[in-house]
């Protein structure tokens, strides 16, 4: 998982690749998934701390991280729109700028 990837994209990619592998147990899948996460990602730290070894547990525990990153992304894009003057109109009582 590269620095810019979010967990949702990585999970989708991983699952699409995992179905192509035959005779791979769920524990191996979970360990492979965890080993490919960035060690600085909070999900990586959480999965190691709680000794998650099944892929179903990985997917369950990843959901809050996915939701948090999506909320942060939505918030930052909303802030960017406000910063660009998106939707801001001058007050009818505001003096005109004649410079």
In this structure, which long-range contacts are made by residues 80-86, counting pairs with CB atoms below 8 Å and at least 24 apart in sequence?
none
pTM, 2 dp: 0.61
Give the whole-angstrom CA distance, residue 74 versus residue 97. 33
Give the whole-angstrom CA distance, residue 27 versus residue 12. 18
Q: Residue 8: its pLDDT value, please?
A: 86
* Banded pLDDT at 3 (limits 50, 70, 90): very low
For the chain, domain boundaries: 7-72
Residue-wise pLDDT for 30-46, tens only, equals 898 898 888 888 889 99
Decide: 57 and 75 in contact? Cβ < 8 Å.
no
Give the whole-angstrom CA distance, residue 44 versus residue 36. 9
């Amino acid at each position: 998982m590269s620095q810019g990837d979010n967990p949702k994209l990585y999970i989708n990619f991983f699952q699409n690749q995992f179905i192509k592998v035959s005779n791979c147990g769920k524990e191996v899948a979970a360990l492979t998934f965890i080993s490919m996460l960035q060690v600085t990602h909070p999900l990586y730290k959480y999965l190691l701390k709680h000794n998650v070894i099944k892929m179903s547990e990985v997917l369950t525990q990843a959901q809050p991280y996915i939701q948090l990153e999506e909320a942060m992304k939505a918030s930052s894009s909303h802030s960017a729109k406000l910063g660009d003057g998106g939707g801001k109109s001058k007050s009818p009582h505001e003096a005109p700028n004649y410079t």
